[in-house]
């Protein structure tokens, strides 16, 4: 995806990263943060080397294109972006007027699932509400998305949904709803 958008990949700061890889981190023009867990490292690299970052995971064609454009813009302007935050000039069926009404919810980590929700909206026009039961920052949530640390918060939001996307352990909360499994280690470990 990075090469397809005429960028050169550098280092993947993940398991298997070598000391040589770590030594090259300061050479990047921009960093792509694909999970909330990687945000602290991106902030250290910004402070130490002046490297801006963009949060997001390149799902779908429209969102992938937007994320690539934001990476290039962030590198040039030395500013940070949340890739799945809707820009004021963009519209996806007008559902951003007031509180987002959605019959589809996705339960999960803010960056990964925020990106997926935005990609679904851009590619299909179907509004999706993110319910984030994990620690996150409000600026990593889109308008209408919710941090839902309490099970009661999840249950209340799921009641209003027809479709639920989430880790299989949440299936019990989605009784009677159409459920799509999206396994995540933070919820079910390595079970799924």
Tell me the C-alpha distance between 160 and 156, whole Å: 7
Structure tokens at 158: 């799921």
Nearest CA-CA partner of 72 in 115, 8, 24, 122: 8
Q: What is the pLDDT of residue 88?
A: 46
Tell me the C-alpha distance between 153 and 105, whole Å: 13
Checking if the pLDDT of 152 tops 90, the result is yes
Q: What is the mean pLDDT of residues 55-70?
A: 96
Owner of token pair 């981190």: 25
Q: What is the pTM of this model?
A: 0.87
Q: What is the mean pLDDT of residues 110-127?
A: 94
Strand partners, 146: 131
Checking if the pLDDT of 108 tops 60, the result is yes
Q: Are the beta carbons of 104 and 165 closer than 8 angstroms? A: yes
pLDDT band at 87 (very low <50, low <70, confident <90, very high): low
Q: What is the mean pLDDT of residues 39-44?
A: 94
Strand partners, 95: none
Checking if the pLDDT of 115 tops 90, the result is yes
Strands (E), the chain: 31-33, 53-55, 81-82, 104-107, 128-132, 146-147, 163-166, 178-181
Nearest CA-CA partner of 5 in 83, 54, 58, 77: 58
Owner of token pair 């294109």: 65
Angle of helix 61-77 versus helix 110-124 axis, rounded to 10 = 120
- 51-55, 132-136, 186-190: which has the minimum mean pLDDT? 186-190
pLDDT more than 70, % of the chain: 91
Q: What is the pLDDT of residue 86?
A: 63
Q: What is the pLDDT of residue 96?
A: 36
Structure tokens at 118: 């935005």
Owner of token pair 């589809």: 104
Q: What is the pLDDT of residue 102?
A: 67
Give CA angle at 83 (181, 190), nearest 5°.
30
- 56-60, 75-79, 174-178, 186-190: which has the minimum mean pLDDT? 186-190
Q: What is the pLDDT of residue 191?
A: 84
């Amino acid at each position: 995806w990075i090469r397809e958008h005429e960028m050169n990949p550098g280092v993947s700061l993940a398991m298997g990263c070598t000391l040589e890889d770590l030594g090259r981190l300061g050479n990047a023009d921009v960093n792509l943060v694909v999970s909330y867990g990687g945000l602290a490292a991106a902030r250290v690299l910004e402070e130490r080397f002046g490297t801006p970052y963009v949060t997001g995971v390149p799902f779908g064609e429209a969102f992938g294109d937007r994320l690539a454009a934001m990476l290039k813009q962030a590198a040039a302007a030395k500013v940070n972006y949340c890739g799945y935050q809707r820009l004021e000039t963009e519209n996806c069926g007008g559902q951003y007027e007031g509180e987002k009404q959605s019959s589809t919810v996705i339960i999960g980590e803010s960056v990964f699932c925020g990106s997926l929700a935005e990609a679904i909206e851009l590619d299909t026009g179907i509004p999706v509400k993110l319910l984030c039961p994990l620690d996150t920052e409000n600026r990593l949530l889109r308008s209408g998305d919710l941090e839902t640390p309490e099970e009661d918060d999840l249950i209340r939001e799921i009641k209003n949904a027809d479709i639920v996307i989430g880790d299989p352990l949440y299936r019990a909360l989605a009784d009677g709803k159409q459920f799509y499994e999206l396994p995540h280690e933070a919820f079910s470990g390595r079970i799924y």
